Amino acid sequence: MELLWRAQATHRAHWPQGDIELATLLSVKTGGCPENCGYCPQSAEFDTGVKAEKLMNVQEVTQAAQAAKDAGATRFCMGAAWRAPKDRDIEKMSELITAVKDLGLQTCATLGMLQSHQALALKDAGLDYYNHNLDTAPEYYSDVVSSRQYQDRLDTLRHVRDAGINVCCGGIVGMGEAPVHRAGLIAQLANLSPYPESVPINSLVRVPGTPLADSEPVDPLDFVRVIAVARITMPKARVRLSAGRQQLGDAVQALCFLAGANSIFYGDKLLVTGNPDVEADTQLLAKLGLKGTPNQTTTETACGA
């Protein structure tokens, strides 16, 4: 209770408007990833029923983005299952980013590891945010994935920062980690200089066929604790309820908002896993007396919020 009180006090001091950012995530290139992240149904190493697909075209993406905007979303995130995109992939993604920006939405992309010149190209295309999660604490990382190193993640975040793109970076709880690893994840995030503008906190969605499918579900109150500590240590960040919201239920989500969460992924799907639908989210926010962030018409206004 003391932790919740302190988190709420911190939240009110830095976010007096109390709005909830509504973000929609679209998988623009699904499956076939060569990484072996133990939580991910899009890995080519695991038999999860997810088929590899080609990159979506501009028309398909803009239709999805317009639908998201019509439903109230203010940020549109595009995810592609690459370990590290090639330069030709960046060119295609730049077209998608520009098209979504033209709709008046903030843009975010998660494409894997980037080189510095690729980050600059995405910035030139109008990308507002780049998502690249640290997943867990550095000492637990090799228990989750062995196809890349923790430093690889940090290098990409540095390239994104150097390009002038806002950072969206968080992690996952419920992967068999100990409480000290959750604390270690938050410490890593909070000690980035500066800390991320957006911090997505995911509750593991246990997908059959992945190595972590049989992990013990995280205690809901432990999940709330992670949200609260993220808010206290990163007071100006948007702390986002991301994957796993469907399993949390309304009451736990309400506690998360009390603890300082002020962003959600909004829509019926999060990459390839289920997510509460728009109507359910609208009803929940209404019951709690919460409102979504108004649509911004310019990047300058959005990034300064």
Is 256 an annotated catalytic residue? no
DSSP SS3 for 217:
coil
Catalytic residue among 225, 238, 240, 245: 240
Work out the number of other CB atoms within 10 angstroms of the CB of residue 187: 13
DSSP per-residue codes, 101-148: HTTT-EEEEE-S---HHHHHHHHHHT--EEE---BS-GGGGGGT--SS
DSSP SS3 for 85:
coil
Is 108 an annotated catalytic residue? yes
H-only helix segments in the chain:
2-14, 58-70, 87-101, 116-125, 150-162, 179-190, 220-233, 245-258, 278-288, 299-303
Catalytic residue among 168, 182, 225, 231: 168
Distance CA 73, CA 299 (A): 15
Is 240 an annotated catalytic residue? yes
Q: List Cα–Cα distances, 136 to 55, 128, 153, 180, 237, in angstroms.
A: 28, 24, 11, 10, 18
Would you state the structure tokens that stand for residue 107, as one six-digit string?
């843009």
What's the chain's Rg over C-alpha atoms?
18
Catalytic residue among 77, 225, 231, 256: 77
Is 303 an annotated catalytic residue? no
DSSP SS3 for 192:
coil
Which residue's entry shows tokens 């299952």? 81
Catalytic residue among 37, 75, 238, 256: 37
Catalytic residue among 33, 182, 225, 256: 33
Is 83 an annotated catalytic residue? no
The catalytic residue positions are: 33, 37, 40, 77, 108, 168, 240
